[in-house]
Amino acid sequence: MNVDVMQQFMRGALVMGCFVAGLFFTRFYRQSGDRLFVFFTIAFLSLAVHWGGLAIADPEAETRHYLFLLRLLAFLSIIAGILDKNRRSRAG
């Protein structure tokens, strides 16, 4: 099996997994109303777009590094969610 085909398959699986995780966190938010789940939803949907972009992007393109800004958004969203949760638990 060609390595490129396998990488495309794995990236597709990552897109699907991140998207499904984002949907689960959306459901958890609707059930509990906790804003932490919104931050996790944003993070996982951002990661899904990131992996989808990497699957579509040309491996030789020099502008591929811009896609990693989506990963940065995802991790910053998780950090913001944790900080928000801690701030709210201290205040209330």
Could you read off the pLDDT of 19-37 as tens digits, one per residue? 999 999 999 999 999 999 9
pLDDT of residue 90: 82
How many distinct structural domains can be found in the chain?
A: 1
Share of the chain above pLDDT 70, in %: 98
pLDDT of residue 1: 66
Domain range for residue 92?
A: 33-92
Could you read off the pLDDT of 56-90 as tens digits, one per residue? 887 777 777 888 999 999 999 999 999 999 998 88
75 token code pair:
């991790």
In a domain, 26, yes or no: no
Q: What is the DSSP letter of 35?
A: T
In a domain, 4, yes or no: no
Share of the chain above pLDDT 90, in %: 70
Burial class of 69 by CB neighbour count within 10 A (0 to 12, 13 to 18, 19+): exposed
In a domain, 46, yes or no: yes
In a domain, 19, yes or no: no
In a domain, 12, yes or no: no
